[in-house]
Amino acid sequence: MLKTLRPPAVSADFPEQSADPQSASASPDDLSRHVFGLLGIPVDALDFPSLLRSMDLATNAGSAFLISTPNVNFLVKSQINGTFRESMLLSDLCLADGMPLIWIAKLLRIPIHERIAGSDLFGRLKSANATSRRLRVFLLGGAEGLAAAVGARLNAEKGGLECVGVFNPGFGTIEEMSSPKIIEEINASNADLIAVFFGAEKAQAWLLHNHWRLRPPIRAQFGATINFEAGTVRRAPPMLRSTGFEWLWRIKEEPYLWRRYWSDGKALLAMLVTCVLPLMLSERRARALNKLSIARSEDHGSVTLALSGAAVAEHVDRAIEQLRDALDSGKRMILDVSNTQYIDARFFGLFLMVRKQLASRGQKLLFTGVSAGLRRIFRLNRFEFLLSQEV
């Protein structure tokens, strides 16, 4: 059942774009994101004020802005579901929603210190002064009647969120949940934010599938937040959330979740042993490597950047300039890593942003000269999928 909570506003025609997920919008400033590659996915190092400023900019610009909130379940599923992983690779921000991700970042000396959960973000947005103006939100998903109840409460509170529509699609395929009627009703609501309350994989797939059909600029999957907001499930106390034991509370509240946490926990332990611990040792050895040179060569169809030395965080600003110039050429981009000794998480994050920009125009990031030692670094970081395009 679809319910509009106030008369829809009329908005300008939205240009038709490709529905191919690879065409998902890329922010013109992707390369400036302070993003790190963490076990196969991008994670942005930012705090709540920076996040809210980014959302403000996207709302005022009216540009598509996809936010993902990876937690351990996201991390585990991304290892086996390439489409799910792609939804994070093509997102405009990826927020660390889960203390285990913060702990892994600390072990690998990645400066991601603050957990930003989807439910915390929703709570912040409800505050009257969270953004420069009250955001219009469309609530999609949740059990029958929950979204309508939460929407009515938001409007009664007159805080930072005004609910302009709700829809509970029930069960169905992505295509069935993406009918023209549903998309038209969402767009007619003139929402600034579409908050999706499906399961993680279905929500991310739905958002990518409908990326170019949706008008609300900000899109995000908020999962169980609808249950917390409706009061049907109690959220864990702050102490449990900050110490990483929220999962115990979730199992108490929703016992069926134990299977997911057990499965994810086993997979996480395996990644700690096979990836994180070896990376800690590699990172220590790499600290002695502190030089990087970047040489550019070009022909009529491609630009090649040869990275010689250590591709580590202290050199990232210089690399951004070179990569941005290469992107501006519009040509095929090749990274020659024949003489690259090491790649750290910051550079993997940068490579993901280059890949995202190239994907927005139907191109691929290519690597050449990958040695056995460097291939191991890609594998330990879970970025071996980047090497599927070698020349």
pLDDT tens track for 303-342:
999 999 999 999 999 999 999 999 999 999 999 999 999 9
C-alpha 200/C-alpha 22 separation (Å) is 19
- When pLDDT is averaged across residues 137-150 and rounded to a whole number, the result is 91
Instruction: Give the amino acid at 339.
Output: N
* Domains of the chain, residue spans: 2-260, 292-388
Residue 198 near residue 17 (C-beta atoms within 8 A):
no
Using one digit for the tens of pLDDT, what is the confidence trace for 356-391?
A: 999 999 999 999 999 999 999 999 999 999 998 666
Q: Any idea which fold 2-260 has?
A: Rossmann fold (3.40.50)
205 exposure class (CB count in 10 Å sphere: 0-12, 13-18, 19+) = buried
Among 11-25, 83-97, 256-270, 337-351, the range scoring the smallest mean pLDDT is 11-25
Distance CA 356, CA 89 (A): 7
pTM for this entry: 0.88
Burial class (CB in 10 A: 0-12, 13-18, 19+), 136: buried
Instruction: Give the right CATH number for 292-388 from 3.30.750.24, 3.40.50.10420, 1.10.3300.10, 2.90.10.10.
Output: 3.30.750.24
Alpha helices in 175-231 (DSSP H): 180-188, 200-209, 225-230
Distance CA 254, CA 227 (A): 11
Contact yes or no for 60/372 (Cβ under 8 A)? no
